[in-house]
Amino acid sequence: MIAETRSKPAGRSPLQTAAPAKPLPGVEPGSVTLTVNGQAKTIQIAPWTTLLDALREYMNLTGTKKGCDHGQCGACTVLVDGKRINACLTLAVMHDDHAITTIEGLASPDGGLHPVQQAFIDHDAFQCGYCTPGQICSAVGMLHEGHAKNKADVREGMSGNICRCGAYPHIVDAVLEVINKAEKQP
Amino acid sequence: MNPFTYARPDSVDSALDELKAQPNARLIGGGTNLIDLMKENIEHPTRLVDVNRLPLGGISELPDGGLRLGATVTNAETAYNALVTARYPLLSETILAGASPQLRNMATNGGNLFQRTRCYYFYDTAMPCNKREPGSGCAAIGGYNRIHAILGTEGSENQPTACIATYPSDMAVALAALEAVVQVTGSNGERSIAFADFHRLPGNEPWRDNTLEPGEIVTSIDLPAKGFNQHHTYLKLRDRASYAFALVSVAVGLEMEGNSVTDARIALGGVAHKPWRKPEAEQLLIGREATPDNFRLVAENLLAGAKGYGHNTFKIDLAKRAIIRALGEAMRSKV
Amino acid sequence: MTYIGQPVKRVDGRDKVTGKAKYAAEFNVPDLTYGYVISGTIAKGKITRIDSSKALALPGVLTVFTHENRPHTAWFDMSYKDQDAPPGSPFRPLHDAKIKYSGQPVALVVAETFELARYAASLVEVSYDEETHETDLEAHLSEGREPSIGMATLIKPLPPKPRGDADAAMAQAPVSIKAHHVHGPQHHNPMEMFGTTVVYEGEKKGKPYFTIYDKTQGAPNSQLYVKQIFGLSLDQVRVISPYVGGGFGSGLRPQYQLFLAVMAAKELKRSVRVTLTRQQMFTFGHRPQTVQDVELGAAADGTITALKHGAIAATSQFEDYTEVVVNWSGMLYDVPDATLEYKLKSLDLYSPLDMRAPGGVTGDHAIETAMDALAYELNMDPVELRLKNYSEKDWTEDDKPFSSKELRECFRQGAERFGWASRNPEPRATKRGDVLVGWGMATGIWDASRMFARAEALLTVNGKLRVSSATADIGTGTYTIMTQIAADTMGMPIEDVIFRLGDTDMPMAPIQGGSWTASTVGSAVKQVCEDLKKTLFKLARKSSQSPFHNADFKEVIFRNGQMALRENPSIAMSLTDIVSLNGGRAVSETSTSMPNPLELKKYSRHTHSAAFVEVEVDEDLGTVTVTRAVSAIAAGKILNPRTARSQIIGGMVWGISHALQEDSKMDHRYGRFMNHNLAEYHMPVCADIHDLDVIFVEEHDEIVNPLGAKGIGEIGLVAMPAAIANAVFHATGKRIYDLPITIDRVLY
């Protein structure tokens, strides 16, 4: 044992202050308006609420998944002003002036699926389904970016989304199909 | 994550005022590392100052032929910027080898410089760590240190090695090779920091990752005119094909006449507390033929004095192999 | 059959691609509170003090549970035993001051918001008295002991007695090889982190009621666990788990967040959600560290004459987790002189936990790389060597015949698809540009088990069929294949059939694991539909006016949503019309499907596979890429080739992960896993996975179950690591015995 390098009481980081009697600054919720899937909604949150938790716990939009909460899996991928980002590593308060799109907002209001959603079904590009909303949002973001042209590009471009079920070959097939269809259209 | 208040100033001056008003305030750009560290109880700011409304965006040409990368421009925008891809393809390639598309869409150029180490022990508050908790010890020494530093870790007689963490950024490895300049502003005015001087070795203050003074803000990263856009490569060795930190990485920029090297830059990532450069080693190439033997000489020189700590000892030889390969690729590469 | 065997698209596909599919931590209810777990920091010792005062002082923090204030729970170990509990004394969260492993939950903070609970948790101070711990199996290899016997060893048998004299035969063998393998621990890391939402439904007659949304591979398993521990009756606890974000074995046992969430909800009379962090996903079950020694002796013609395969695995101090590691060698190769050994060593760790192809992937890597090495010693093609030693019976189970075994076809079709015939066997001889190319192959084997299960089938007055069973769909396709089976059995269009699962209000099914769900629940669904048909037939023939009045059940067929006379199909009645005879009520049946153990016991029942792999190795840099792979699978009837292909491909990705990336790294000084996050615990990303191909070999099996389907959850994984390791040898001429084969292992 190398207890001599271990501080006791064990392993807590510094910066502990006695808890104040009144609420700490930052804990008190305030109004934040988020525009998600075209709809503006005001919620009461403190600054320490991530965009991911705001969606899931405060807006009941649980389609966006929490797979690691540290930007290491991509399950929380959403589109902010059309760009794919990890919702777990950003604060909700930072996005009051952005258009956020989640998996719930990809299908058209009449229920017609986004081509990427349909391709995922057609190619069986998922199993447990937990990484799927992130994969789909990521694919949609990648299509907007316009850099992915071939299989190798898609593999690299989709590498920010871990699928533990190992559906990668089918994910690549699904995304390539959408890319190829889009290219054929004028 | 502890509670904090949030501010989103729209001028650099008011951001500076924010930092002055609360010593425990921190700037937030993309948040990709800071939020992560706050969730892990490693960083505890009481106020977050959002830099995304500061007028620090844009990528613009400098009068000396260089390029100014705004601090709040994202890594992705930088990597795909037409000026960057044309004149600094090494930087573009290097950025795209890092993190994931989502993270690159969030992370800012300024923020990238402040990424903290991926050392397991730094990240686990149950463990001793001199970087996180000064004086608690370094558990990586004698521990599981496969991803740790092999260069720049030596202590002295009075001061044993305090930290073997590495700095994980890819982008910074290219910036080191390109000799970028970091522009900062603070209450005492503006100053320029050569990239080699921006990050620091752990020494006996491993909690200090860089030489920025409290209250200063990075406003841009300036690239000098020389972009090595003819002969360049970024080679990143990692445990999976993408979305993983480097075990060893090498950024190379060469200028050549025929088969002869006229200028050379080599920076290493994943091996030290900062991007590792050794101009003396680069000099060995200049005026010489680009041959595997000469590459080997450079690699040996660059790794001279490297020290392994057990699990990471393989990186000494791996780094040499990577340098030789990267030089060969850069020699052959053409835009 | 209209649907069985067809590539029907997942019936839950739309829910999964639109975000409508809800997982355990996503059932939001009013006034929900949030629990945050505090994890211990030492591997062994005692908690001397927990100071929660700073946390409790925060407005909005409801309470902090510790071992000191934990409400009363059941006394006896028996109450804590779940369906997958190994022999021993199950871990009890917050039981006492004792610390048994690093990362053990030591407290639960409950607050009005998630953020507050997380912050408050950081304010709780825990002090310990540390004791010396032991976590390093490699330091205790000589201390292996026999595992305890229990319920688990019925499903996972211990090795058979030695056969003949392996040592003497080995000494006489003209050709022999020997290998020593170290496999590190691994963690399941499903993408969904473990979470439980306990909805407090209030009290009726002084008794509290709970609806529990749990991440589990078996809702009934969680229900029974909660009932026993908290002294509740079954009707007070309903567990629901419609979607599971990956399991891979991790959900076979109730995990500690379930205990903590129920404890808090019961005590606080509030609804509570507890979700673990990714770091905490490394603080319960794992694939155990295992060290193996293999020896093979053979005659010059390739006949294997001697086999020794021994393994020692780490378990916890409180349970004897076992898995089948070495028996596979005996099932694959009918060697006259053979010794198979399996030992355990207790260490200061959490109990290991079945992880996809538990034991199988571990043992297969050892025996199948040994076979490759033997092939080289004999100068024989690796496929030839396997054909030479092809076994028609299973000596580990008293020389029983296999219920079916189309492994030969796997070799033939797999080799053909892969192009194996053009392989130059010489190591280091094949290059593509500057990189070395290697081709390797291996055999895989897994169990074809069947348990008992119940199912309900209900035909609504509108003629829609609702079938249910309390099983799970962890991504395997259960929803879809059960719908197919029900539709076919009832002769109904699939659009009119809904299969539901994951709810303890439904008929009982076992935990979803061991590749037995298709076989087990599928048989129950078929059974209940057959029974429902009989009921409908009786209903239809009741009236004297009925065209079926004088018919026998054998004379009718069900198709196109109708019941008709086999000999005269124009005489038919729609199912809707039949139900209408039931006085405006739906018609339902509940049935139990039981395997016949006496019949099954006459056979050794297994799936088989042959994996063929190509790797590229950059020898200067030590990188290995699996550029393509073919898996030929013999698994009986394939119920749905679309979802089955996904299962096998997933298994192959796991094989690549197992061979090249995954490794839970422990710092034994602290007895703690250090790479406990998804940035440093590597599993493949999209860029790691290239061309994977799957062949399902035709295999008929009337023994395993009425469907002839064997289950495919693990078989895609089993052979891959050995095939990859063999390909790396072919590429480089270097045998790498330990996994994963990382850059440093290739180079040094």
Residues of B in contact with A29 (CB under 8 A): none
Residues of C designated catalytic: 714
Which pLDDT value is given to residue B155? 80
**Residues B258-313: tens digit of each pLDDT:** 999 999 999 999 999 999 999 999 999 999 999 999 999 999 999 999 999 999 99
Dihedral over alpha carbons C25, C27, C32, C34 (to 10 degrees): 0
| Touching B: A residues 90-119, CB under 8 Å | 90-91, 93-94
Q: Is the pLDDT of residue C175 over 50?
A: yes
Q: Residue range C435-454: average pLDDT?
A: 97
Same-domain pairing of C625 and C723: yes
Nearest to A86 among B39, B48, B103 (CB): B103
- Asked if C57 has any chain B CB less than 8 Å from its own CB, the reply is no
User: Would you call A10 and C127 a contact, using CB atoms and an 8 Å cutoff?
Assistant: yes
Q: Give the H or E element holding residue B276.
A: strand B276-277
Nearest to C22 among A62, A121, A161 (CB): A62
Q: Give the H or E element holding residue A172.
A: helix A168-184
Same-domain pairing of C531 and C456: yes
Same-domain pairing of C571 and C495: yes
Using DSSP, state whether C670 is helix, strand or coil.
coil
Which pLDDT value is given to residue B60? 98
CA distance A63 to chain C (A): 4
In a mutational test of the C interface, the residue from A4, A66, A175 whose CB has the highest number of chain C CBs within 10 Å is: A66
Contact call for residues C428 and C732 (beta carbons, < 8 A): yes
Residues of A in contact with C13 (CB under 8 A): 120-121, 124, 126
Nearest to A159 among B5, B36, B242 (CB): B242
| pTM for the model | 0.97
Q: Give the H or E element holding residue C363.
A: helix C360-378
Q: Residue range C43-50: average pLDDT?
A: 98
Contact call for residues C386 and C372 (beta carbons, < 8 A): no
Q: Is the pLDDT of residue A20 over 90?
A: no
Residues composing chain A: 186
Query: C535: domain range?
Result: 451-594
Which pLDDT value is given to residue A13? 36
Same-domain pairing of C323 and C421: yes
Say how far apart CA C286 and CA C354 lie, in whole Å: 7
**Residues A158-175: tens digit of each pLDDT:** 999 999 999 999 999 999
**Residues C276-285: tens digit of each pLDDT:** 999 999 999 9
Q: Domain of C210: which CATH number?
A: 3.90.1170.50
Contact call for residues C33 and C272 (beta carbons, < 8 A): yes
Same-domain pairing of C427 and C458: no
Searching chain B, which residue's CA lies closest to the CA of residue A15? B44
Q: Confirm whether C7 is domain-assigned.
A: no
Residues of A in contact with B100 (CB under 8 A): 71, 74, 86, 159-161
Indicate if the alpha-carbon torsion angle B242, B243, B248, B251 is positive or negative. positive
Considering the segment(s) B231-332 as one domain, its CATH architecture is: 2-Layer Sandwich (3.30)
Which pLDDT value is given to residue A23? 59
Sequence-distant (≥ 6) Cβ neighbours of residue C104 within 8 angstroms: C39, C40, C91, C283, C350
Q: Are strands C237-240 and C207-214 parallel, antiparallel or unpaired?
A: parallel
Sequence-distant (≥ 6) Cβ neighbours of residue A135 within 8 angstroms: A74, A77, A120, A125, A126, A158, A161, A163, A171
Q: Domain of C291: which CATH number?
A: 3.30.365.10
Sequence-distant (≥ 6) Cβ neighbours of residue C72 within 8 angstroms: none
Nearest to C646 among A61, A64, A124 (CB): A124
pLDDT band at A22 (very low <50, low <70, confident <90, very high): low
Q: Which residues of chain A does CATH 1.10.150.120 include? A: 115-184
Q: Within a 10 A sphere around the Cβ of C257, how many other Cβ atoms?
A: 27
DSSP alpha helices (H): ranges in A74-166?
115-122, 132-145, 151-157
Searching chain C, which residue's CA lies closest to the CA of residue B326? C621
Q: Within a 10 A sphere around the Cβ of A70, how many other Cβ atoms?
A: 23
Beta bridge pairs of residue A77: A86
- Asked if A1 has any chain B CB less than 8 Å from its own CB, the reply is no
Same-domain pairing of C336 and C383: yes
Which pLDDT value is given to residue A183? 84
- Asked if A46 has any chain C CB less than 8 Å from its own CB, the reply is yes
Q: Residue range C120-143: average pLDDT?
A: 98
Which pLDDT value is given to residue B157? 78
The pair of three-digit structure tokens given for residue C696, joined into one six-digit string: 């399902």
CA B184 from chain centre, in angstroms, equals: 16
The pair of three-digit structure tokens given for residue C613, joined into one six-digit string: 């792999």
Same-domain pairing of C491 and C557: yes
- Average predicted confidence (pLDDT) for chain A: 89
Which pLDDT value is given to residue B154? 87
Say how far apart CA C18 and CA C10 lie, in whole Å: 14
**CATH value of A115-184 in 3.10.450.50, 1.10.150.120, 2.30.40.10, 1.10.1040.10:** 1.10.150.120
Same-domain pairing of C117 and C40: yes
Asked whether the ipTM of the predicted complex exceeds the cut of 0.95, the reply is yes
Last residue of a domain, one of C535, C563, C594: C594
Fold of the CATH domain B5-52: 3.30.43
Same-domain pairing of C411 and C557: no
Beta bridge pairs of residue B152: none
**Residues B43-54: tens digit of each pLDDT:** 999 999 999 999
Q: Confirm whether C194 is domain-assigned.
A: yes
Same-domain pairing of C460 and C571: yes
User: Would you call A158 and C686 a contact, using CB atoms and an 8 Å cutoff?
Assistant: yes
Say how far apart CA A124 and CA A118 lie, in whole Å: 10
Sequence-distant (≥ 6) Cβ neighbours of residue B265 within 8 angstroms: B177, B178, B179, B228, B251, B252, B253, B254, B277, B282
Which residues in C112-154 belong to E strands, given as ranges?
A: 125-130
User: Would you call A70 and C654 a contact, using CB atoms and an 8 Å cutoff?
Assistant: no
Q: Confirm whether C10 is domain-assigned.
A: no
Beta bridge pairs of residue C624: C617
Nearest to C18 among A3, A11, A103 (CB): A103
CA distance A35 to chain B (A): 18
- Asked if B142 has any chain C CB less than 8 Å from its own CB, the reply is yes
Q: Is the pLDDT of residue C309 over 90?
A: yes
- Asked if B318 has any chain C CB less than 8 Å from its own CB, the reply is yes
In a mutational test of the A interface, the residue from C213, C643, C686, C717 whose CB has the highest number of chain A CBs within 10 Å is: C686
- Average predicted confidence (pLDDT) for chain C: 97
- Asked if C688 has any chain B CB less than 8 Å from its own CB, the reply is yes
Q: Is the pLDDT of residue C497 over 80?
A: yes
What homologous superfamily is domain A30-104 in, according to CATH?
Beta-grasp domain (3.10.20.30)
Nearest to B2 among C102, C119, C672 (CB): C119
Residues of chain B with pLDDT under 70: 334-335
CA C1 from chain centre, in angstroms, equals: 29
Beta bridge pairs of residue B184: B191, B218
Q: Confirm whether C635 is domain-assigned.
A: yes
- Asked if C745 has any chain B CB less than 8 Å from its own CB, the reply is no
Which pLDDT value is given to residue B334? 61
Same-domain pairing of C180 and C204: no
Same-domain pairing of C610 and C726: yes
Which pLDDT value is given to residue B156? 77
**Residues C65-110: tens digit of each pLDDT:** 999 999 999 999 999 999 999 999 999 999 999 999 999 999 999 9
Q: Confirm whether C477 is domain-assigned.
A: yes
User: Would you call B242 and C41 a contact, using CB atoms and an 8 Å cutoff?
Assistant: no
Q: Is the pLDDT of residue A4 over 60?
A: no
Q: Which residues of chain A does CATH 3.10.20.30 include? A: 30-104
The DSSP letter of residue C282 is G
Q: Confirm whether C353 is domain-assigned.
A: yes
pLDDT band at C536 (very low <50, low <70, confident <90, very high): very high
Dihedral over alpha carbons C710, C713, C719, C725 (to 10 degrees): 180
Domain count for chain C: 3
CA distance C688 to chain B (A): 5
